[in-house]
Amino acid sequence: MSSVAREWREVPGRYNLKGTKCANCGTIYFPRRDFCPKCRRAGIGKIEEYDICRTGEVYTYSIVYDAPAMCDMIKPYAVVMVRTDDGVMIAGQLVDVDLEKVAIGMRVRAVMRKLSTDGESGIIRYGYKFVPAE
């Protein structure tokens, strides 16, 4: 990941959990989809902006020890799939948490944090991470 345009383009989704909703069938998508796989052609022109709910619970998790993708992450760290309260699944990191206490069913909320610093270009990437809800 290195170009400024590539990072800037994804800001609405990554900073603000902006997704989309198909008005034809009601399905919510994150990341955004501008073509509904359920309705296909029937959904064209019926895709609306949708703010994904920022709270939810941990559907599954792992504590990652071997993590080259984000080289400036302090290892180990927690990764999770979160089912938001509007039923959308999102993958990301869970931070500000005692790693021993991460569990399926745990309540979490999304916050904006630094994701990584790109070594060559120096671009700092921001985006959502999850923290315990309480």
Partner 1 sequence: MRDVAIIGAGVTKFGELWDKSFRALGIEAGIKAMSDANLSGNEIDGIFIGNMSAGQFIKQKHIDALIADYTGMATNHIPATRVEAGGASGGVAFRQAVMAVASGMHDVVMVGGAEKMTDMDDVSINSVLDATADAEWEAGMGVTFAGLHAMIANRMIHDGIATREEIASFSVNSHFHGALNPNAQFRKAITLDTVLKSGPTATPLGMFDCAPISDGAAGLVLCPLEDAKKYTDSYVKVSAVAQASDTLALFQRPDITTYQATVEAAKRAYEQAGITAQDIDVAEVHDTYTVTGIMALQDLGFYKRGEAGKAVLNEECHFDSGKIAINTSGGLKARGHPIGATGVAQIVEIVEQLRGSADKRQVENAKYGLAQNTGGTGSAVTVSILEAM
Site for partner 1, residues 17 to 56, rule: CB under 8 A:
31
Which span sits near Zn ion by CB under 5 A: 22-30, 55-63, 98-106, 109-117? 22-30
Contact 17, 54 (CB under 8 A): yes
In the structure encoding, which two tokens stand for residue 132, read together? 């315990």
Among 22, 80, 97, 115, binds Zn ion (CB under 5 A): 22
Whether 123 contacts 4, CB under 8 Å: yes
Q: Which of 6, 9, 38, 114 binds Zn ion (CB under 5 A)?
A: 38
Distances (CA, A) of 78 to 10, 66, 68, 122: 23, 11, 14, 25
DSSP 3-state of 99: helix
**Options 36, 79, 94, 108; binder of Zn ion; rule CB under 5 A:** 36
Q: Which of 76, 111, 112, 117 binds partner 1 (CB under 8 A)?
A: 76
Give me the residues that bind Zn ion (CB under 5 A), please: 22, 24-25, 36, 38-39, 43
